């Protein structure tokens, strides 16, 4: 019985959990359009070059099937120093510290940091003044161009925009008759669309008066 118990214990031995190492990461900084810089740790994944074009184990099997004697040459990575190279150099010996610092500084000097573009200037246009002029909730037609130009200048609108507004208003005024004829042709196809429809009177609900019964 003792021999059987030992064999059963070894047969159904619980596996020992193993902790795998963490995925390699590197610190990346990106310049944002607004002028800020976003920095974060990103997983560093590198796939070896496979002659068949398929990475991973499948690519290795394909290469072995095509040419069993060929070996997959891994991709050569360029050496990059750490951002904390000065801190690492403190824990080095004096003989290794000088060449290490010189090599790291030469690498960083050859690759300067990207220039972050300045943020765009803030708008100085008084939009509330322009909105008060239009007052879309009450006004049906657009205000005349003279009034609009006056308000645009007071609100701080650029001269280029004002020139475009004047040219646009002149173009609409020149093509007013042509556009009106096109609209008339459209409504001529459906005469009923131009007729005014009187609103129907709402039917009054019937009120049933209560009748008192004599007892």
Q: Could you say which of 54, 89, 113 is where a domain stops? A: 113
Per-residue pLDDT at 45 exceeds 50:
yes
Q: Could you say which of 77, 105, 140 is where a domain stops? A: 77
Helix (H, G, I), strand (E, B) or coil at 25: strand
25-36 pLDDT tens trace: 788 888 877 777
Whether 8 maps to a domain, the answer reads no
Whether 207 maps to a domain, the answer reads no
Task: For residue 31, give every residue at least 6 positions away whose Cβ sits within 8 Å of its Cβ, in sequence order, or none.
Answer: 37, 114, 116, 117
Whether 32 maps to a domain, the answer reads no
* 63 & 84 share domain: no
116-169 pLDDT tens trace: 888 888 888 888 888 888 876 566 678 889 989 999 999 999 999 999 999 999
* 136 & 183 share domain: yes
Whether 68 maps to a domain, the answer reads yes
Instruction: Please report which confidence band the pLDDT of residue 65 belongs to, taking 50, 70 and 90 as the band edges.
Output: confident
| pLDDT reported for residue 167 | 94
Residue 152, judged by CB atoms within 10 A of its CB (0-12, 13-18, 19+), counts as buried
Whether 98 maps to a domain, the answer reads yes
Per-residue pLDDT at 1 exceeds 50:
no
* 143 & 169 share domain: yes
Global pTM exceeds 0.75: no
Q: Could you say which of 91, 113, 135 is where a domain stops? A: 113
Per-residue pLDDT at 171 exceeds 90:
yes
| pLDDT reported for residue 104 | 92
* 70 & 89 share domain: no
Per-residue pLDDT at 90 exceeds 80:
yes
Whether 17 maps to a domain, the answer reads no
More confident residue, 79 or 45: 79
Per the structure, the complete domain to which residue 97 belongs is given by 80-113
* 99 & 59 share domain: no
* 168 & 140 share domain: yes
* 42 & 62 share domain: yes
Count of domains forming the chain:
3
Kindly state the percentage of the chain with pLDDT values over 90.
Answer: 17
Whether 1 maps to a domain, the answer reads no
Of 8-22, 76-90, 97-111, which one has max mean pLDDT? 97-111
Owner of token pair 């001269």: 159
* 134 & 178 share domain: yes
| pLDDT reported for residue 132 | 85
Alpha carbon distances (Å) from 137 to 31, 120, 129, 144, 155: 43, 33, 15, 17, 21
Instruction: Please report which confidence band the pLDDT of residue 61 belongs to, taking 50, 70 and 90 as the band edges.
Output: confident
* 131 & 185 share domain: yes
Residue 110 DSSP symbol = H
Whether 26 maps to a domain, the answer reads no
How high is the mean pLDDT of the chain?
A: 78
| pLDDT reported for residue 106 | 93
Among 108-117, 158-167, 202-211, name the one with the lowest average pLDDT. 202-211
């Amino acid at each position: 019985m003792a021999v059987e118990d030992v064999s059963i214990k070894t047969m159904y031995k619980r596996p020992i959990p193993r902790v795998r190492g963490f995925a390699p990461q590197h610190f990346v900084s990106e310049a944002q359009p607004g002028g800020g810089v976003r920095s974060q740790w990103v997983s560093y994944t590198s796939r070896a070059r496979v002659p068949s074009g398929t990475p991973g184990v499948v690519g290795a099997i394909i290469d072995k099937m095509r040419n069993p004697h060929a070996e997959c040459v891994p991709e050569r990575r360029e050496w990059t120093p750490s951002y904390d190279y000065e801190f690492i150099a403190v824990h080095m010996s004096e003989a290794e510290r000088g060449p290490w610092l010189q090599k790291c500084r030469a690498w960083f000097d050859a690759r300067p940091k990207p220039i972050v573009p300045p943020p765009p200037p803030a708008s100085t246009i008084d939009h509330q003044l322009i909105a008060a002029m239009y007052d879309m909730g009450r006004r049906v037609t657009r205000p005349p161009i003279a009034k609009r130009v006056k308000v645009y200048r007071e609100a701080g609108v650029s001269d280029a925009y004002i020139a475009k507004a004047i040219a646009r208003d002149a173009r609409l005024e020149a093509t007013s008759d042509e556009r009106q004829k096109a609209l008339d042709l459209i409504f001529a196809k459906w005469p009923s669309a131009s007729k005014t429809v009187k609103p129907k009177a709402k039917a009054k609900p019937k009120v049933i008066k209560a009748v008192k019964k004599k007892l």
